Structure 1
Amino acid sequence: MKKNHVTNHLKHKQEVRRRMSIKGKQEKKEFGGDTFLFQHPGIEKAVQIQDNSRDENGNRVAEDFYKELFEHVIFVVEDDIPQKVNMAHFEKYDSMKVFTDVLKHATKFIFR
């Protein structure tokens, strides 16, 4: 096999692996007039998010789960700069719809 062919083949394999990598994958989506950025923390961190939000009986604690998502997955984009977001951010809306839609999307985004 020619050297050039092997080099090109290896470069192609690296590019395919890079595109398939889930960690760091991003997606922007608009909810309630705000643009949110969802960034995948990687498989290991996604599993840790699930584990860190469980009580001593193994039940998911919603508040802990949401805080983990806000810390590692969900950001609000203001002036083209992603900013950390927390539950207080959603108080400005007149219902919980934006809050629940953002959290549903984040959950689907990292656990699809």
Structure 2
Amino acid sequence: MPRAGIVAAARQEVSDMKAQLAALMGGAAAASAGVSDGALTDDELAEKARQAFLEVERMLGQKTGTSSRRDDATAIAVLEAENERLRVEATALLVRQQQLEELVASVIAKGKAAASNN
């Protein structure tokens, strides 16, 4: 069980957040959203907070939508360039590996030929 002091601090924090939310949304908007000091259950308060959070996220997304799309496009272009560079490097490494395998095979073949001549 949580201690009474912890519960009181959490309630005070929720009250402070409600006051901040009311200030952000404006008095009329907060009243219409149902944010009040009435007898709301914890689940109802949590749902109201979740809805307010989603609304703020939606509003921020509208303001920064074009810049974030631009940032996403830039990030995609950077990743595509890095991907292409890595493909070229991987191809060069595979060619080098093939050359080394051919060299090892030729050395082994020469060694077998020399051993059979002796």
The answer to which structure has the higher helix fraction is 2
Higher relative contact order (CA 8 A, sep 6+): 1
TM-score by length of 1: 0.26
| Higher strand content, 1 or 2 | 1
